[in-house]
Amino acid sequence: MKRIMLIAFIALLAVSLIGCSSEETSDTIKIGVNYELSGPVATYGNNTVDGIKLAIQEVNDAGGINGKMVEAVILDNKSDPAEALSVATKLIAEEQVIAHLGPATSGAALNVVPAVTDAKIPMISGSATNPDVTVDPATGETREYVFRTCFTDPPQAIVGAAFAMDNLGAKKVAIYYDNTNDYSKGLYQVFKAEIEAAGGVVVAEEGFSADDQEFRPTLTKFKDAGAELVYVPAYYEKVAKIISQARELGIDVPFLGADGWDSPDLVAIAGAAALNNTYFTNHYSSSDDAPEVADFVKAFQAAYDKTPDSFAALGYDTAKLLLAVIAETGSEDPQVITDALAATKDFPAVTGTLTFDEFHNPIKEIAIIEMVDGAQVLNTKIAPSN
Amino acid sequence: METLIAQILNGLSLGSIYALIALGYTMVYGIIQLINFAHGEILMIGAYVGYFSVAVLGLNIYMALLLSMFVSSLVGVLIERIAYKPLRKSGRLSVLITAIGMSLLLQNGGLIVFGTDFVPFPQVIERIPYRLFGGRFVVTSHQILIFAVSILMMLLLQYIVGYTKIGMAMRAVSYDKEAASLMGINVDNVISFTFVIGSSLGAVAGVLLGLYYQTIHPLMGFMPGLKAFVAAVLGGIGVIPGAMLGGFLLGIIEALVSGYWSTTYKDPVVFVVLIVILIVKPTGLLGKNTSEKV
């Protein structure tokens, strides 16, 4: 047993030495991609990486950056936060990447943060929405090397509340949120505060638990309370059931939600008819006719034969932003790239013109998607007021 | 008043589902005094078989139901033969723990085989909302279907257990296994038959649950199964009409607590009611006071 361990150790040592010696003369720009390609949230990772690959392909087809090709080192973190850290370590130590993209979820991203900070390598996530990812909650200081291209949760609720009051004219709202989920509870609190600050009334509010399937009693209560709009900041599976049960009970008021609604299964579960007169805030809409969006959707469809979802669009933006910064600075020094990223202003991204605030969160417009006969249609785009 | 009636209707539809699942629990318990915790997972298997028959094989809903009942019965009998039968002579606690283990095994096996996604269940029976009294009350075609099926199943079970030859054998096995076997009853076969009926009921409940709530998932049987177990105990476990009564009662309590108070309190209230009833009447609402067998 001991001998086997010894041999394994020597073999490992040999491999890592070979790994080190071949690094020095790189004629490509190496970008580390650390995403969830298998496991429970594999769809997030795979769709994001499709977007990243498309962006890199476009840059390479146009001749690369300063004559050098961009090479993505794509590794799977198996949707496991611990694995995400070891993937990040491998990308930094063995592959010697100059920048790190991913992971998709906040939990995995938080695990990777110390590794990139120690190595002083810039990291950008396309979809980690937890505020702590870019700001250290203990000190309140922005993490120098960590960025994200998606908006955090509060702006979604702020824009949602503004849309409910101004565009839909709802003054009396009910809120139905997932009591067992931080994302849902966070949106509920911000939405409620915004509605009340704008002179609206929350006539009923109720939390459901992750196991609930029967929503009729609470919906009947909302109906009695005279709600003119119901805000459901939850994930599509619950949302679909809530809306379909509400429509059966004859509750025809608009329903409003957030990016957790974005799934083809929303329509598959609830049916197209029940979803009419429902809206949700999202990162982008593939039906947007802005030139950046239309070109991206066309290129993505040509490459993968499917319509890009928000993850794909955010992945594309994340890679495009990084490559634009590298091209602009003409440097492969991670520190120079980091500083240039922090100074990003008005970058024309698919998911909205992007400027980083002092917390490395993007300031950009949020799309309001309306469900029309089962299709997602862009209703309007609103910039968060604060 | 209007709201009260609307909420009671909501509760009745939820209660029919609990009742349908509780029938399966109570049936098996009534014959072999075993709480088959894997019943919720049999329901899940039934729902997935129903889904594959409709979505992949393209069968109609009746054929899908039959196939689902057949496969679930097979699984139910297999579970009994593999996991419960070797323990028939050991204490009730060992069997109970085995049943919980079986339930966990099937849940996690389901997660591996079917994946972790919610699968949309094809809506093969149209959802028609009937608006009564100028739209003040709403009843849907699915609710009527589930209510009718649960009543029908209860009557059918009562008939099988009370008025058929196999039912008489089941009652005999329930009363005294050894004496029954001395009278020429094949105890193993009777117990298998009990599992066939219990699992078929689970399959019907699973397919209807999929239709009603529009999705199926490997863990879909767990919570409803637990609630149905409470319903069966509430009504008097082992008593077939008791499962029905317990189910409806549970559904209505949940609807009223959610409607007039808060969803958060519906489970605590349900369990308080259960505890109170068990203190006042330990055998459940319709349970008979039987003296301990020696």
Say if the Cβ atoms of B129 and A40 lie within 8 Å: no
Say if the Cβ atoms of A250 and B131 lie within 8 Å: yes
Q: What is the pLDDT of residue B278?
A: 86
Q: What is the pLDDT of residue A7?
A: 62
Interface residue A244 vs chain B (CB under 8 A): yes
Chain B residues inside the 8 Å CB shell of A216 = 10, 13-14, 255
Comparing B4 with A25, the larger pLDDT belongs to: B4
Distance CA B171, CA B136 (A): 46
> Which residue from A381, A356, A368 is spatially nearest to A134, judged by alpha carbons?
A356
Interface residue A265 vs chain B (CB under 8 A): yes
Position of tokens 């609307």?
B6
Distance CA A279, CA A166 (A): 14
Please state the domain count of chain B: 1
Residue among B123, B213, B258 minimizing CB distance to A271: B123
The DSSP secondary structure of A357-382, one letter per residue, reads -TTS-EE--EEEEEEETTEEEEEEEE
Residue among A212, A216, A237 minimizing CB distance to B118: A237
A102-116, B152-166, B273-287: the lowest-pLDDT one: B273-287
Q: Which residues of A50-59 are buried (b: 16+ CB within 10 A; e: fewer)?
A: bbbbbbbebb
Distance from the Cα of A345 to chain B's closest Cα (Å) equals 39
Residue among A211, A220, A244 minimizing CB distance to B259: A220
Q: What is the pLDDT of residue A23?
A: 43
Q: Which distant-in-sequence residues (6+ apart) come within 8 Å of A66 by Cβ?
A: A327, A330
Residue in chain A lying closest to B260 (CA): A221
User: Can you say how many angstroms the Cα of residue A150 is from the centroid of all Cα atoms in its chain?
Assistant: 5
Say if the Cβ atoms of B263 and A212 lie within 8 Å: yes
Residue among A212, A217, A244 minimizing CB distance to B10: A217
Q: What confidence tier does B91 reach under pLDDT thresholds 50, 70, 90? A: confident
Distance CA A2, CA A10 (A): 12
Residue among A208, A209, A250 minimizing CB distance to B138: A250
Chain A residues inside the 8 Å CB shell of B260 = 221
- Domain that includes residue B42, residue range: 2-280
Distance from the Cα of B19 to chain A's closest Cα (Å) equals 15
Structure tokens given for A230 = 């119901």
* Cα–Cα separations (whole angstroms), residue A276 to A18, A166, A243: 60, 19, 10
Residue among A40, A212, A217 minimizing CB distance to B7: A217
The fold for domain A153-282 equals Rossmann fold (3.40.50)
Mean pLDDT across chain B? 89
Model ipTM? Answer: 0.85
Say if the Cβ atoms of A40 and B116 lie within 8 Å: yes
B210, part of any domain: yes
Interface residue B6 vs chain A (CB under 8 A): yes
Distance from the Cα of A221 to chain B's closest Cα (Å) equals 6
CATH classification at residue B164? 1.10.3470
Domain boundaries, chain A: 29-151+291-365, 153-282
pTM: 0.81
Extract the residue ranges of chain A whose pLDDT is less than 50: 19-25
Chain B residues inside the 8 Å CB shell of A217 = 7, 10-11, 254-256, 258-259, 263
What phi, psi does B120 have (nearest 5°)? -65, 130
Q: What is the pLDDT of residue B136?
A: 74
Q: What is the pLDDT of residues A165-177, one digit of tens each?
A: 999 999 999 999 9
Chain B residues inside the 8 Å CB shell of A38 = none
Distance from the Cα of B12 to chain A's closest Cα (Å) equals 11
Q: Which residues of B198-228 are buried (b: 16+ CB within 10 A; e: fewer)?
A: bbbbbbbbbbbbbbbbbbbbbebbbbbbbbb
Distance CA B139, CA B147 (A): 11
Q: What is the pLDDT of residue A21?
A: 43
Structure tokens given for A79 = 């949707």
The average pLDDT across B218-226 equals 90
Are A168 and A195 in contact, with CB atoms under 8 Å apart? Answer: no
Interface residue A248 vs chain B (CB under 8 A): yes
Q: What is the pLDDT of residue B292?
A: 47
Question: Dihedral, CA atoms, B144, B145, B151, B155, nearest 10 degrees?
Answer: 150
Q: What is the pLDDT of residues B184-196, one digit of tens each?
A: 999 999 999 999 9
Interface residue B123 vs chain A (CB under 8 A): yes
Q: Does position B49 have pLDDT exceeding 80, yes or no? A: yes
B286, part of any domain: no
Q: Quick one: B171 exposed, middle or buried, by C-beta within 10 A (0-12, 13-18, 19+)?
A: middle
Distance CA A146, CA A48 (A): 18
* Cα–Cα separations (whole angstroms), residue A279 to A183, A202, A269: 18, 18, 17
B58, part of any domain: yes
Q: Is the preceding peptide bond at A103 cis, omega within 30 degrees of 0?
A: yes
Say if the Cβ atoms of B129 and A224 lie within 8 Å: no
Q: Please provide the CATH number assigned to the domain covering A29-151+291-365.
A: 3.40.50.2300
Q: What confidence tier does B293 reach under pLDDT thresholds 50, 70, 90? A: very low
User: Can you say how many angstroms the Cα of residue A287 is from the centroid of all Cα atoms in its chain?
Assistant: 19
User: Can you say how many angstroms the Cα of residue A100 is from the centroid of all Cα atoms in its chain?
Assistant: 16
Say if the Cβ atoms of B258 and A221 lie within 8 Å: yes
Residue in chain B lying closest to A237 (CA): B118
Say if the Cβ atoms of B7 and A220 lie within 8 Å: yes
Q: What is the 3-state secondary structure (H, E, C) of A193-232?
A: HHHHHCCCEEEEEEEECCCCCCCHHHHHHHHHCCCCEEEC
Interface residue A207 vs chain B (CB under 8 A): yes
* Dihedral of alpha carbons B275, B277, B282, B288, sign: negative
